[in-house]
A and B are shown apart, each in its own frame.
Chain A
């Protein structure tokens, strides 16, 4: 049973607007949630993370929100740029080192 779910397989956003990517989880005993970005023919690259004790973390254009009561997190990208077009994975870190990934959301940012 998938512990981390990304229910939207794809998202299309106009350049300059906000992109919101969502993730739901079932396991409450996590250490961190992380977001990775993946371009074709490359490995995933780390983007931003949030600790289980926080509800928001911001890094430049990227902000992650964590709602523990709803077991939901989201990644906001503002403003979106064409170079942001990629597949985004949320991942749950637990047991110190174990990362469990969602199935990914393909983001396309068009001019």
Chain B
């Protein structure tokens, strides 16, 4: 099992540019989550999908952020336009719902730097 795969590992972009982060969940998992980690706020849940349908996007900071899951094996998180305050590590995670005590499996993250 390759685990949750995120790409790219690092992204440096200029303010105002569009950024797309990608995630491939574990095969067979039916729930996918996007988190953001910052020093100030720790790990924040941005949005999660169940069976490719967005269930809760209350953590998405503003309209510049959007996420899609066109099929069970792929999801994207897009920021347009990007701003320096979006700099953070973005994690994708997946699980077989209901999660229960086994929790999620996380990817290695994408470190985004907006200059």
Contact = CB atoms under 8 A, between A and B. Distances in A.
B108 A42 contact: yes
B103 A99 contact: yes
Contacts, number: 68
Interface in A34-51: 34, 36, 41-46, 49-51
Contact of A43 (B42, B55, B101, B106): B106
Nearest to B35: A101
B70 interface: no
Size class of the contact patch on chain B: 20 to 34
Interface residues of A, number: 25
A43 B43 contact: no
Nearest to B30: A97
Interface-central residue, A31, A36, A46, A91, by most chain B CB under 10 Å: A46
Given A46-B103, A97-B31, A103 B42 contact: yes
Contacts of A43: 4, 91, 93, 106-109
B101 A32 contact: yes
B33 interface: yes
What DSSP secondary structure best describes chain A's contact surface? strand
Contacts of B104: 46, 99
Contacts of A41: 108-109
Interface in A89-111: 89, 91, 93, 96-104
A97 B95 contact: yes
